[in-house]
Structure 1
Amino acid sequence: MTWGQAMFEKISRSWELAKASASVLNSDRELLVFPVVSAICVLVVLATFMIPAVAFKLFADGYSVGSLAFAFAFYFCQYFVIIFCNCALVSAAMIRLEGGNPTVADGFNAARSRIGAIAGYAAIAATVGMILKALKDRDNNFIVRLIGGALGAAWTMATFLVVPVLVAENVGPMDALKRSVAMFKRTWGESAAGMAGIGLACFVAMLALGAAGFGLAYVLSLVSSALAVLIGAVTVLALLALAVYQSALGSVYSAALYRYAVDGEVPRGFEGLALEAPRR
């Protein structure tokens, strides 16, 4: 098989993986509640920290011990609510993949039972997030920013299965991270293909929607500014809805990949798709 053929096969499989995840998600729209709650909580946390930061000019003179502690608290709270809601979504998705009919309460109850491990992992993620942000700071030279970007991509891939591990196994955050890395090595091909497929599909959809919506708003602005604003607002809401859908889609796929890596069986809704990289 030539390089071009292998690349075409990889892209084709990634689209199929994205479609299978969408099929599972569409069978239970309640799963979309979790990323919506996550987005609302993130906005609340952002406002809670931004208002005092601006009011007291905490970062006006650069970073100090106090401002760094404030920044870490912000990162921790942001990561905590995101990871907590992702754990709730993945827990519900696993019930669906096993043939059950999960409720929103099932997901949040499962996440609440693992709140200690979630908090521990949020602290790790916050620390790594601050380090990566420092490396990718615009004042750094190109090489440092490049290293920061590469490390960020590696961290994203290494932690792709942390949430399923946290909700399905009685382990701490460090062991969950180690388990995620080990399983990613086994399924790296389809982990990357799934992430790329879902990301590409949603990016194309957002690009098309944005171009159509804002293009129409521009045309209508020549006739009615009020109508143009309305169409623009509807387009923004539709793009936010797509972002929510993408988040849920990625979580469903990570749950399916975890279940396959552990049990060796293709989960319900993913029959016929190769989820594991070929063994050599």
Structure 2
Amino acid sequence: MKLALDIGGTYIRWEMANGIKGKERLDKIDLQTFIQDLIKKGKITHMGISYAGQVFRNEILSAPNIHATFDPKKMGIPYVIENDLKCAVLAEAQFFNASCITALYSGTGLGSATIDQNRIVRGFRNLAGEIGHIPYKKAPFRCGCGKDNCIELFASGSGLQKWANYLKTEATLKNKVLYALYTEALLYATATVLTLFNPSVLVLGGGVIKNSPDIIGVIQEKIESFSPPFSLKDVQIKLTQLEDASLEGIKILLERLP
């Protein structure tokens, strides 16, 4: 039996090959014990992990937005682990039947991944697409990576919460100040990935965007003011239609395990 896991900044989502699936908050469980129990109860033989952090050659490098720890090597079964956005873009490429596609997701963090000519753009250590940590503007607090000017501090759920705490208000995009901070940063991030990667399809997703789907209209309406015309020619900007693209993507990789 195979087990697919999607470990984000807030939740772990899981699905077994028999269709049994679930979701738990990370702050309510011990992650290592929880996964070990799933393996034991489901008689799991192989495991795939989509992980909201930096991953290279099946090893976790860092995870600024995940405070729950676990060691997949101690699970005792064959596994594959991959960055969550690289998993997501695999599923999005399959859904949109696209050979050049970028996924830009705003959830707990902000991340992107790109497939170009049917191959994932990885970079030297599989860190290509870490859009959340490009320099943007100074903030009066720090990102999980230690910097105080990451765009993730403005265009993510964790960033919105930090701004809300700083301004002593509720963390909601109904707040005009937070909405302005968020949308400007997301437009900047969108223009950046469009210019750098030149996809035929840009798909927007993640919890913040899914909970405020009208943002896609704002992006489509205002992107011409942020991105050069040549980056926008014939590109489609879409809202994800997948419930959990990262989980679907790791299932694709899990099938490739021997």
Q: Same fold (TM over 0.5)?
A: no
More helix by share: 1
**Which TM-score applies when normalising by structure 1?**
0.29
Q: Which has the higher contact order (CA 8 A, sep 6+)?
A: 1
TM-score norm. by structure 2 comes to: 0.31
Q: Which has the higher strand share?
A: 2
